[in-house]
Structure 1
Amino acid sequence: MKKIFYLYIIMLGSLLTSCKDFLDLPPKNQRAVTTLNDVKSVLAGYLDAFSRNNIRPIVGPYPIITEAQNMMFESYSDNFDFEGNMAQYVNRQNNHGNEKFYANKLLWNDYEASTQIWNSYYEAIGFLNALIEQCEDLKDADPQELKRVKGEMMVHRAYYIFKLQQYFAPMDREEMGIPLYLHTGKEVMGIEMKRKSSAEIYAVLINDLSQALSYYTEAGANTGYNRFFNDRFIQHLLAQVFWFKAESSAKESSDYQQVIKYATAALENVEAFVPSTPVALQQTQQNLLSQYPAYYMQGMTYGGVSAIYGSTWGYLGFAPANLKVAPDLLQLFDEQDIRKAAYFNGNTLSASWPDGAAYGAKYVRVHLFTPEEAFLMLAEAYCRSNNLDQGRMVLNTFKGYRNAKELNSGSANELLKEIINERRKEFFTDTDKRWIDLKRYKLGTINRTLKFFNIDFSLRVEAGDFHYSLPIPLSELQENPHIAPNEGWEPLIF
């Protein structure tokens, strides 16, 4: 008798829902899924958000990196002079964020945003687990279309797993990877949702993405349906996984060679589509360059990130406006660098950032799998492999697109420093990237002395300390006795 599988469409539990509840799929509303068309129909309710900018998926976040997420990671980074901007942030003319909002963001106390990431990403993984497992029972389905559908889901699931590992797992504690259970569909009792080792998590990621890439080679994409099932995107994500893993507790000697392999493949035939003028950079931000080889998502909220990046109505006197940038960041830019003209007005963030409009719309804009990121991963992989000439050549090719001064000599350490600086310039305000770099490279110390509610607060975040592993949500710790917390976090109560 053919098995009838019930997909749990709505998996939003109470405030005390744990990742086990998402990954083990407790029943809520149900829908029978028995054919490949059923799977495609249900999956389409999730994929719709990846083809349109005005619809939320049936599970998971929208966009895949949200406004709150973007603002949290920027607040936890070193690109802005936050002390110098306080008069603009806590200001009667600011209708984008109140004093508590800024206190939580700038004092690394944004438990709400980190909880939202944990819950929404695990929710999406649980949903994809169920559909991927159901694909194993579709024996009569068109085998090529089944590979396209299953491959699509495997890439999305790998993305969420990877980001959770980046956000919540320490770099140097192998036993403290994220919890993960790839649902088998069997009746399993007493699952203990413990943290996996980081090596186990990376093995899952590499296996799933390699399998998806094999499916792509065999079946190609259904261009009207697939979103992430694209050989360039899959290889780019594989390069990212190996790049991050290479400096983690799970590192292996072959990691950077794998970065070279996959980043090179991701960069094939992209040269003509990389923007090289300020206008082209701004058009890319608005997704106006149709052949730009990356995946674009835009938030639905006009001014959605204005609380951190500046009011859309700054020209009318509203705050925040004229936000000061960290001086050491500004000093990295050559005068002729096209990014300087696109980003800044003197030592402040340009009102037209990021899209070139007279007063930027301040939507959150997400570009996944960009060639710029692949260039810089490739340059670093050559550098770390002691192929300095090739590393400099790749770096200088990238710099050419930005009209930045070339680096033609120097040691491996000097080349690596230049690559890190290029990443900081290129990925300024870009989703989570600067925070990821601060974590991965163990960069600097962040010191802040800020006043909220007439109380002086001093914050010190040292390179590599506990702040670079986000706090496991309290609801998870209460519901899941098998999970070890990320130690050091103590909520501030205002």
Structure 2
Amino acid sequence: MKNISTKYTYIFSLFLLLGLAGCEESLEVELPRNQLSSKTVYISDPTAEAAVNGIYQRMVSNFYYNSVHTVLGQTADELVPRTGIANVYSSNEIPDTDGTMNSSWGELYKTIYNANNVIEGVTKSNTLNVVKSRQWIAEAKFLRAYAYFYLTNLWGDVPLVLTTNVDVSALLPQSTQEAVYAQITLDLTDAVKDLPTDYANYKGKRIRATKWAAESLLARVNLYLGKWTEAAAHATAVINETGTYKIATGLTTTNSPFVADNQESILQIPYYNVEYTYEGGLFTTGGTLLLRKGNALFETGDDRKTKWTVDVIRGGVFLGIAPHKYKNSYSDSPSERSTILRLAELYLIRAEARVRSNDITGAQEDINVIRNRALLGNTTLTDANQLLDLIALERQREFFAENGHRWLDLKRTGKLDETLSVLSDKIWKSTDRLYPIPEPALRSNPFLNPTEGY
């Protein structure tokens, strides 16, 4: 029997708003930690601005800069431990007591709580700038949608929390994935209307959401929902912003999608007030995680293999190749940021949507943008199924070890069983397509149902 009396302890640890200041790049005002009430925060524009920045600051956490890459990569067919020894993620044997699952669940809900706090506080205030208020609410809705996108794709049916009232949220039952996606779409549609169209408000730094970030996530969401026309339209809206966004070519150390404020990036998250990312220290030349398919993943001459991976050799023995997209491992150069949305995804989203809408020529053009950047030749494929296979492969090559794309792609296309069941180091069951809802959450809320198979 779950202990209902622990609900407040758990919910407060889960949803606590942990400070609003930190990153000097984006914050002008540091709020005293004992002044977090809405009456204090949402009385002036500077403190409200700091509250919005606080949502991003709290995203500098393990899920967003580590687990989203490493755990999702291992549960897919993408990453394996360098040691060759399987763990609970690479074998798909994750228990509901796993600490990483618990922290990931909690960090995503903290983002949602902080977003809800801004939405409620700004909405209730009558002292804030009206135009800025609309933007702040739009940003909060975008970030709430982003967090829910991962929650529902990793755990399926999840509580849909739209308030900071713990008495309401503590015992919420799970909402269907359909309902969660409806809220995501609503939030992003609202956000598009009031987000800025450029980065001028942020001194040109691509560290906060714009209209094009919301359009990008809408393109992804509609692709996942099988709404091809809508996915292509949202992707096109971003691709057409040629004055702001361009594919980074050359893939040099100083010209890549992961360099701070490069033209391919749509949204990046700074890692505190430094020039490096956690990813730079996570995916080092030492290669603690290797690409499962190794060199076989890439065509001969693929510049992504050359520029984004590193050979791992121990004692003169070649062990494989490791991701090495982020080059800065805790130093000052090059200046990099965790990149959560970038233009390459929009081309591949539109390519897939176009194939499924029988626009073969248009799909080829979009695929070729990505292939040509990688120094590969144009595709000559015209068969729809072959093109879809190529797009899936190009997504795997383009987004390896990046924001869980491969795991989510296998899931949304229904290819998890056929891809993972044949791998000898995995103990695969169809129910492993969803992660286990953490045991502390189950204990705190008797209306949550354990994930099937756990």
> Residue in 2 aligned with 1:273?
246
Instruction: Note the 1:222-241 alignment, pairs <5 A.
Output: 222-223=201-202, 227-241=207-221
In structure 1, the residue matched to 2:87 is 103
2-structure distance, mates of 1:245, 1:391: 19
Whether 1:420 aligns to 2:420 is: no
Query: Which of 427, 431, 436 is the equivalent residue of 1:460?
Result: 427
Cα pair 2:192 2:214 within 8 Å, conserved: yes
| Matching residue of 1:488 | 453
1:353 counterpart = 2:337: no
Q: 1:45 to 1:188 in 2, by over 3 A?
A: closer
2:21 aligned partner? none
Going from structure 1 to structure 2, the CA distance change for 1:366 and 1:217 (only over 3 Å counts) comes to closer
> Kindly tell me: are residues 80 and 482 of structure 1, through their superposed partners in 2, closer, same or farther at Cα, counting changes over 3 Å?
closer
**Counterparts in 2 of 1:14-53, with a 5 A limit?**
17-18=10-11, 22=15, 31-34=36-39, 36-38=42-44, 40-41=46-47, 44=50, 47=53, 50=56
2:130 alignment partner AA: P
- Residue identity in the other structure for 1:423: R
2:249 is matched by which residue type in structure 1? Answer: S
Q: Which amino acid aligns with 2:406?
A: R
CA 1:433/1:351 → structure 2, altered by over 3 Å: closer, same or farther? closer
Does 1:394 pair with 2:366? Answer: yes
CA distance in 1, matches of 2:198, 2:250: 37
- For 1:206 and 1:471, the matched residues in 2 are separated by 25
Separation of aligned partners in 1, 2:280 and 2:252 = 22
Query: Are 1:179 and 2:179 matched, yes or no?
Result: no
Deviation, 1:80, is 4.2
Tell me if structure 1 keeps the 8 A contact 2:259–2:337.
no
CA contact (8 A) 2:264 2:344 kept: no
TM-score, normalising length from structure 2? 0.78
- Cα distance in 1, alignment partners of residues 74 and 302 from structure 2: 25
Runs of at least 5 residues in structure 2 that lack an aligned partner in the other structure: 1-5, 19-32, 312-317
Amino acid across the alignment from 2:70: M
Relative to structure 1, the CA distance from residue 377 to residue 104 in structure 2 (aligned partners, 3 Å threshold; closer, same or farther) is same
Matched residue, 1:366: 338
Shift of 1:266: 1.3
Partner of 1:115: 102
> Root-mean-square deviation (CA), in Å?
4.1
In the aligned structure 2, how far is the partner of 1:62 from the partner of 1:24?
14
Equivalence for 2:444: 479
Contact 1:148/1:219 (<8 A) preserved: no
- Three-state SS of the structure 2 residue aligned to 1:403 is coil
Identify which of 124, 139, 143 aligns with 1:152: 139
Relative to the length of structure 1, the TM-score reads 0.72
Give the unaligned 5+ runs of structure 1: 1-12, 51-56, 91-101, 170-176, 247-254, 315-319, 450-457, 490-494
For residue 193 of structure 1, give the secondary structure of its aligned residue in structure 2: coil
**Closer, same or farther in 2 for the Cα pair 1:306/1:219, shift >3 Å?**
closer
CA distance in 2, matches of 1:211, 1:194: 25
Structure 1 residues 144 and 470, CA gap change in structure 2 (3 angstroms): same
Q: In the alignment, which residue of structure 2 is the partner of 1:216? A: 195
Counterpart contact for 2:228–2:357, Cα < 8 Å: yes
After superposition, the C-alpha distances for 1:116-175 in whole angstroms (9 at most, x for unaligned) are: 111111122112212211222223432111112111211111111111111111xxxxxx
> What pairs with 1:45-444 in structure 2 (closer than 5 Å)?
47=53, 50=56, 57=57, 59-62=58-61, 65-80=64-79, 85-86=82-83, 103-108=87-92, 109=94, 111-169=98-156, 177-183=157-163, 192-216=171-195, 222-223=201-202, 227-246=207-226, 255-270=227-242, 273-279=246-252, 283-284=255-256, 287=259, 290-297=262-269, 309=283, 314=286, 325-327=291-293, 330-344=295-309, 353-355=324-326, 366-443=338-415, 444=419
Cα separation, 2, equivalents of 1:469 and 1:205: 19
C-alpha change, 1:151 and 1:385, in structure 2 (3 Å) is: same
Taking the aligned partners of 1:194 and 1:268, their CA distance within structure 2 comes to 41
Change (3 A) 1:270 1:369: farther
**Where does residue 28 of structure 2 map in the other structure?**
none
Q: How many residues align?
A: 417
Amino acid at match of 1:107: S
- Compared with structure 1, are the counterparts of its residues 40 and 162 closer, same or farther at alpha carbon in structure 2 (3 Å cutoff)? farther
- 1:172 corresponds in structure 2 to none
Say whether the 8 Å CA contact 1:74–1:432 is kept in structure 2. yes
